Amino acid sequence: MAAFLPSTSCCSFKFSNLPSKSHVFTLPALPLLCRRSNYHRHHLSLNRVTAALSAVDSPLKSSSEGQDEKSQPLLQVTGLTAVIAESKQEILKGVNLLVNEGEVHAIMGKNGSGKSTLSKVLVGHPDYEVTEGSVVFKGENLLEMEPEERSLAGLFMSFQSPVEIPGVNNIDFLHMAYNARRRKLGQPEIGPIEFYAYLYPKLERLSMKTDFLNRNVNEGFSGGERKRNEILQLAVLGADLAILDEIDSGLDVDALRDVAKAVNGLLTPKNSLLMITHYRRLLEFIKPTFIHIMEDGRIIKTGDASIATVLEEGGYKAISGSGSNFRESRGLGKILISICSWLVMIWEVVSAFDVVNDLVADSVPHADAVFQQLSSNVFRTWEYFMLEKHRLLQVKCPRLFVELQLQSRDLNNHAVLQAS
Ligand SMILES: Nc1ncnc2c1ncn2[C@@H]1O[C@H](COP(=O)(O)OP(=O)(O)OP(=O)(O)O)[C@@H](O)[C@H]1O
């Protein structure tokens, strides 16, 4: 849940009463408490698929299309690759993502496809090293910022499994975090009574009992209560970009509704949301502008909300299936091109001899050039034909090929003779 930092900068503080080794928490965005073991926590129709995947493979382009001209890019991830710091195993293999202001993005994908890793890399989790690519957040290089600076810049992350902070009272934690943010923004700190007045409506909106405030952060909280508490933090601290990793897991349907209502209430035309989820249920409550499908460390598809329906009904096979249909249709296209190549080739070969004779008179030095000229008249821009032509000619009509080669040699000799 809370962003931790091994730094002692002005916005970090230590909880002296923590039972375990000293933890330094980044404030005010909190949302990342590092535990090295945490990442392991958890885990149609063709028309419909095609419609859903009007989707493009280049999210950077797709996300910006059709958007309000005034909405500015908030987060721009380009070719991001990242490895596990310890083992150097590559997890992110070139992620592209553009999130504009006022947009809600959902990332879906099979277990282990790299969704949580992407979000953790974005908040600067020390378990990962960025090896390539860039991340621009609000016009600044996010990768150059410390995790704490990222949160102060307006990035919030809610973890899949929010951690406990034994010995730290929830309301104190929120209060300190909130004041740290105010300090950073050059605003005066507020006292406990004023803070409670600020906090109470948010608690109500999330249907959280006041008891939760006096309990230690997440200690003994049920899964759903932890998730609500994460959203409470988001509501208190605010964010330009909130990353919610599986906020729906462990929530009953009423809790999901409450959480979604609270999240929707926080959305403005200026801030954005990046949600990681496995289920359409959440997306029915929080409507995404775009859904991205992640696979093997990359975003492989981007589309509208209908992708979630396809996924729910057909699973990831439906998405991959559409991919293979696409590939099959490309295969069909290749066959058609081959047939056309054949026809063109026959036509060319038949006419070649006449043209060659004509061109010999003009001293064209190479038979290849003759072919080039012939073909370019018909399919000037279709380079595929150019490449295929000789290969097909050689394979399918070896005698003609040899004959033309000989002519080419004769043409060369002719040119050499002329030059001398
Ligand atoms: N710190 C780490 N050490 C070792 N392996 C890691 C680490 N972080 C991520 N991985 C591996 O990287 C892959 C991607 O993990 P990640 O948690 O990002 O997947 P995910 O898409 O969020 O999965 P899920 O849907 O199950 O939450 C997994 O195979 C995971 O085991």
Q: Out of 32, 42, 117, give the residue to mutate to test ligand 1, the one with the largest number of ligand atoms within 8 Å of its CB.
A: 117
Is the domain of 299 the same as that of 337? no
Domain boundary among 285, 304, 323: 304
Give the pLDDT confidence score for residue 419 in this predicted structure: 52
Same domain, yes or no: 282 and 397: no
pLDDT at position 141 = 97
Using alpha carbons, list the distances in angstroms from residue 414 to 304, 356, 371, 417. 63, 13, 18, 5
pLDDT of residue 195: 94
The predicted pLDDT at position 52 comes to 36
Task: Find out whether the beta carbon of 39 lies less than 6 Å from any atom of ligand 1.
Answer: yes
Residue nearest to ligand 1 atom 13, measured at CA: 112
Q: Where are the alpha helices (DSSP H) in 185-286?
A: 192-205, 211-214, 223-237, 253-266, 280-285
153 with 235, same domain: the answer is: yes
- List the residue whose alpha carbon is closest to atom 3 of ligand 1: 84
88: left (phi over 0), alpha (psi -120 to 50) or beta: left
Please check whether residue 322 lies inside any domain of the structure.
no
Model pLDDT, residue 198: 94
Q: Say yes or no: CB of residue 43 within 6 Å of ligand 1.
A: yes
Where does 238-294 have alpha helices with state H? 253-266, 280-285
Which ligand 1 atom is at minimum distance from the Cα of 276? 22
| Statement to judge: residues 231 and 270 lie in one domain | yes
Residue 318 lies in a domain: no
Residues 338 and 300 both lie in one domain? no
* Buried-exposed string 40-51: b where 16+ CB fall within 10 A, e elsewhere: eeeebeeebbeb
Range of 173's domain?
12-304
pLDDT at 352: 59
Per-residue model confidence (pLDDT) at position 129? 96
Task: Return the CATH number at 44.
Answer: 3.40.50.300
Quick one: which atom of ligand 1 is closest to the CA of 109? 21
Rounded Cα distance, 7 and 11, in Å: 9
In a domain, 339, yes or no: yes
Beta bridge partners of residue 77, listed in sequence order: 97, 135
CA distance 118 to 137: 14
Give the distance (Å) from ligand 1 centre to CA of residue 112.
5
CA distance 100 to 271: 8
Within 215-362, residue ranges assigned H as helices are 223-237, 253-266, 280-285, 306-361
User: What CA dihedral angle connects 123, 118, 269 and 141, to 10 degrees?
Assistant: 50
Please indicate, yes or no, whether residues 281 and 161 belong to a single structural domain of this protein. Answer: yes
CA of 118 to the centre of ligand 1 (A): 9
- Measured in angstroms, how far is the CA atom of residue 375 from the centroid of ligand 1? 52
Ligand 1 nearest atom to the CA of residue 128, by list position:
1
Q: Does residue 362 belong to any structural domain of this protein?
A: yes
Whose alpha carbon is nearest atom 20 of ligand 1?
112
The interface predicted TM-score of the complex, written ipTM, equals 0.98
Report the domain count for the chain. Answer: 2
Same domain assignment for residues 184 and 243: yes
Q: Is 113 buried (19+), middle (13-18) or exposed (0-12) by CB count in 10 A?
A: buried
Whether residue 20 contacts residue 164, with contact meaning beta carbons closer than 8 Å, is answered with no
Check whether residue 49 and residue 98 sit in a common domain: yes
Ligand 1: centre distance to CA 93 (Å): 13
**Can you tell me which atom of ligand 1 is nearest the CA of 91?**
12
pLDDT at position 122? 96
Is 42 a pocket residue for ligand 1 (Cβ < 6 Å)?
yes
User: Is the beta carbon of 102 within 6 A of some atom in ligand 1?
Assistant: no
- How wide is the angle at C-alpha 371 spanned by C-alphas 367 and 377, nearest 5°? 145
- The sign of the CA dihedral 339, 341, 347, 353 is negative
Q: What is the DSSP string of 159-176?
A: -SSPPPEEEEEHHHHHHH
Q: Is the CB of 298 under 6 A from ligand 1?
A: no
- CB distance 112 to ligand 1 below 6 Å: yes
Distance 400 CA to ligand 1 centre (A): 58
237 with 274, same domain? yes
Same domain for 274 and 365, yes or no, is: no
Q: Is the CB of residue 192 below 6 angstroms from any atom belonging to ligand 1?
A: no
In a domain, 311, yes or no: no
**What was the pLDDT predicted at 403?**
54
State if residue 115 touches ligand 1 by the CB under 6 angstroms criterion.
yes
The predicted structure's pLDDT at residue 89: 96
> Of 260, 284, 304, which residue constitutes the final position of a domain?
304
Task: Give me the pLDDT at residue 20, please.
Answer: 34
pLDDT for the residue 374: 59
Question: Could you tell me the distance, in angstroms and rounded to a whole number, from the CA of residue 171 to the centre of ligand 1?
Answer: 32
In a domain, 108, yes or no: yes
Q: Which atom of ligand 1 is nearest to the CA of 113?
A: 21
**152 part of a folded domain:** yes
> Ligand 1 within 6 A of 114 CB?
yes
**What residue owns the CA closest to ligand 1's atom 2?**
84
| Domain assignment of residue 60, yes or no | yes
146: left (phi over 0), alpha (psi -120 to 50) or beta: beta
Query: Is the distance from the beta carbon of residue 41 to the nearest atom of ligand 1 less than 6 Å?
Result: no
Give residue 208's identity as a one-letter amino acid code: M
Tell me, yes or no, whether 185 and 242 share the same domain: yes
Is residue 281 located within the same domain as residue 348? no
117 lines ligand 1 (CB under 6 A): yes
Per-residue tens of pLDDT for the chain, all 420 residues:
433 332 222 333 333 333 333 332 333 333 333 333 333 333 333 333 333 333 333 333 334 444 445 678 999 999 999 999 999 999 999 999 999 999 999 999 999 999 999 999 999 999 999 999 999 999 999 999 998 889 888 999 887 777 777 788 889 989 998 998 888 888 999 999 999 999 999 988 888 888 888 888 878 888 888 888 889 989 998 899 999 999 888 888 888 988 898 899 889 999 999 999 988 888 999 999 999 999 999 999 898 888 888 887 888 877 764 443 333 344 555 566 667 667 766 776 666 556 656 655 565 556 666 566 655 555 544 544 544 555 555 444 545 545 555 455 454 444 544 554
The CA-atom distances, in angstroms, between 53 and each of 29, 62, 323 are 35, 11, 9
Cis? peptide before 201, omega within 30° of 0: no
Give the whole-angstrom CA distance, residue 221 versus residue 387: 66
